[in-house]
Chain A
Amino acid sequence: MLIAGDQAPDFSLPRLDGTDWGLEAAAGGPLLLVFIETDCPTCRLTIPYLKRLAEALGPDGHRVVAVSQDGGQETRELVEAYDVSFPVLLDTDLDVSRSYDPPSVPALFLVGEGGRIELSEVGFHKGDLNSAAEKMLSSLGLPVRTVADPDDGAPAMKPGCTSRHLEPVMAVGSVDVSDEVSGEVSGEVPGEMSDEASGEPLPEPIDLLPERAPRASRLTLADDEDPYEYCMSAGFSPFLPVVPPTAERVDTFLAGVPHPPDRVVGLVPPCYGPATIEKIAANAVMAGCKPEYMEVLIPVIRAACDERFNLHGVQATTHSATPLIILSGPAAARLGFASGAGVFGNVARANSSVGRALQLVMTNLGGALPGEIDMSALGNPGRFSYCVAENHEESPWEPLHVELGFGEDESTVTLFAAGGLTEVSEHTARTGAGVLRTIAATLSMVWSWRQCGRVDAVVVLCPEHAATLSSDGFTKSDARDFLFEHTGVPLRAFDHEGTEGTQARDSYEEVLIDGEPHYRKFADPSQIRIIVAGGTAGKFSAVMGGWLAGAEGSQTVTYPVKW
């Protein structure tokens, strides 16, 4: 692959309309060449950002140029679907792809003065898109702007697909296909082969980040129709009555949001229905929200649709996990979110309705209905609503959002794929270490006793326990480290072969805890998150186990509260 410092090879390719485009067309300024495939989800994710860059370049928008590695028809469909106005070239023979030689697409080459490559990168990277935009805009004397907002719901990076010029004739991995292939190079791509094999067209790739989606339809009810019963029978919320989302109520919500109603905030897994501002507002009305709660609900939906959170898995698993919303920062008090006594219960309209709104969005736009796509064996009371705020007033430590690198004045929503809540009573321990040892014993049980290393946990410290820890000199980080060091499963628990967690014991770390051999429960202290919440009376903290942690499960995600 050509890299920064290389000379960009000259070439000429046909545009979609048949006219030729040559590299000299971009002389006198920077050029961003982007190699794409029409069925590559990462390429599709990238296109709206390229459009934004072309728009920022104004009359120089033609300096963003896509090189399609596919045929005219597929490329035209893509260009029409995304309303692309910058030049799109057809590299049908892949000759230009070979000369630039990216291993995968999308592949970005920023060509500067004298035809020298200044930046080359493959895959989707918000940082690189912004840095290419900054270089292009500043070299043309235009105001620099961010084209890829880090908090717009799309991941910061996403790998792409193998560049067409490197694809084998039949992509069958290590399987011997000598029987199936005559040995002739057909030039066909795997997708096309699957078409022929099945005789049916392949499903359209999912459009990962459309900017707009159609407006919601209006449903007119007859005078004698009870709107509450209608909402239940129409499947808006078959399990619990809701406030009917009348056009007037929804309009009131929309009036307070500085985005158009058809703006897509995210595609909600597992069925990927577009969560437009209008659809979110309709579900927020049904959940009983106030219009001002949209300021929190919109970033909550962004977080739920973040690929790292893997809502697809969270919604489809037989486990009971569901997103727990943790609100941190001044927005909580300003909007009336409860963080004190009874915080996990029916204590404040803001908590109850925002948590409920997320659940409605997940079923109504994400399509995961219990017993159908949502296959949870037991379910979870949190599937009605699961939303808490951190109790900053009673916490001796920095708030969660500050711990995560946000400013004191900012607010954040954090989504954690949580199972149920296990209370930990510790009324007699007089030391911080005593409190933490009791919590550690409960932590050792999350997911399944002998299963180690694969699950995250949230520890909810009640104010009294937090005060005991603080007066003993524990910082939040000290408390987490103590829990990490003291949470384990004794080796004697593994005498019963075949029980869950025993199969993976070879990968566990053996340590001594209080002189007894244990396997460490967590692989890293970062798997334990601590928040302070709840009332000032009662030494009851809680432990919440998550679903499978990490990139192969659900990663906890945090988004700033902002429009």
Chain B
Amino acid sequence: MSTLVNPLDESSRDRLSPAPRLDGLEGKTLALLDISKPRGKEFLDRLEQLLKERYGVSRIVREVKPTYTKPAPGALLERLGFVDGVIEALAD
């Protein structure tokens, strides 16, 4: 019989459930988050146009992460607290 020391992370973590899915896009406020990869703006400009023209999204908020290599700063996420949904753009 041998006793082993657990080498894994044993921190307890809260499980978060995904936010409820939107029932549709009509009249919603969406944020488009550019993670600052090359050509993200072009992609999101077109997406913004389509979301408004085809899906009746009432308002688009645009934000840009300072760098795609790190998580978004808390202040940026807080600024997006009021929107109905966020679309994140990878681009390249």
Contact = CB atoms under 8 A, between A and B. Distances in A.
Interface of A: 41, 161-162, 170-173, 175, 177, 180, 190-191, 193-194, 197-198, 200, 203-204, 213-214, 216-223, 227, 230-231, 235-236, 244-247, 250, 268, 271, 273-274, 278-279, 281-283, 285-286, 310, 312-313, 317, 360, 364-367, 503-504, 547-548, 552-554
B6 A217 contact: yes
B8 A364 contact: yes
A313 B5 CA distance: 29
A310 B70 contact: yes
Interface string B8-47: 1111001011010000000000000000001100000000
A223 B1 contact: yes
A170 B1 CA distance: 60
A171 B78 contact: yes
A246 B3 contact: yes
A256 B72 CA distance: 41
Nearest to A224: B1
Q: In the A-B complex, list the 3 residue pairs whose CB atoms are closest, starting with the nearest.
A: A273-B9, A313-B69, A282-B7
B8 A365 contact: yes
Given A204-B14, A274-B11, A245 B5 contact: yes
Interface of B: 1-11, 14, 16-17, 19, 38-39, 61, 63, 66-67, 69-71, 74-75, 78-79, 81-82
Nearest to B39: A503
Contact of A552 (B9, B17, B67): B67
A281 B2 CA distance: 17
A69 B66 CA distance: 28
B81 A193 contact: yes
A286 B7 contact: yes
Contacts of B19: 198
B78 A191 contact: yes
Nearest to B16: A203
Contacts of B70: 310, 312-313, 552
Contact of A312 (B10, B71, B74): B71
Given A217-B6, A364-B9, A365-B8, 4 more contacts: A171-B78, A173-B79, A218-B5, A552-B66
